[in-house]
A = this chain, B = another copy of it.
């Protein structure tokens, strides 16, 4: 019982650290944020913070993983449950749209800054993230093939085309150059694309 309570306490503390660190990273960027800064904002000693995370890299990775990826858990579940392709694709695009509309509060630029480091760790993490994005969209597209809604041609290229267009949209939305209507039109074009190809 005590152990369970301990675990809960630890998890809520971890979530609290990530939340504050996120705000700090948004404000100061990745390169300018230190473990000391993070410890200070949450009123924790530096040694206390190190009980949870060993570096700003690790914190960055945890934030990206938990925020951005959990969003698409429902898509992965729908694929496993073999839901109708059009429904899953629409949900996928809807979640992307939701993400795009909230991108000004995202760590997009701090993420780029982190990845630009080209440290082995950052490169590996970027690769892992990309793999996960690819698995999700390819899962959706393969569902369409299984349900005979789309052809099985160039799926990896089309999957990456989705990812690239959405990355471009992310940059545009972040820099305040894309309205909701604009996002809708571009996502509709992606949907149209797989009907043709």
Contacts and interface: CB of A to CB of B under 8 A. Distances in A.
Give chain A's interface secondary structure class: helix
Contacts of A163: 168
B175 A116 contact: yes
A165 interface: yes
A123 B158 CA distance: 32
B160 A167 contact: no
A101 to B, nearest CB: 16
Contacts of A165: 161, 164-165, 168
Contacts of A127: 177
Contacts of A116: 109, 174-175
Given A116-B174, A197-B196, A189 B168 contact: no
Interface in A155-176: 157-158, 160-161, 163-169, 171-172, 174-176
Contacts of A53: none
Contacts of A74: none
A34 to B, nearest CB: 16
Nearest to A156: B185
A130 B161 contact: no
B115 A175 contact: yes
A112 interface: yes
A104 to B, nearest CB: 10
A62 interface: no
Contacts of A54: none
Contact of A185 (B113, B130, B157): B157
A192 B197 contact: yes
Interface of A: 109, 112-113, 115-116, 118, 123, 126-127, 130, 154, 157-158, 160-161, 163-169, 171-172, 174-177, 182, 185-186, 189, 192-193, 196-197
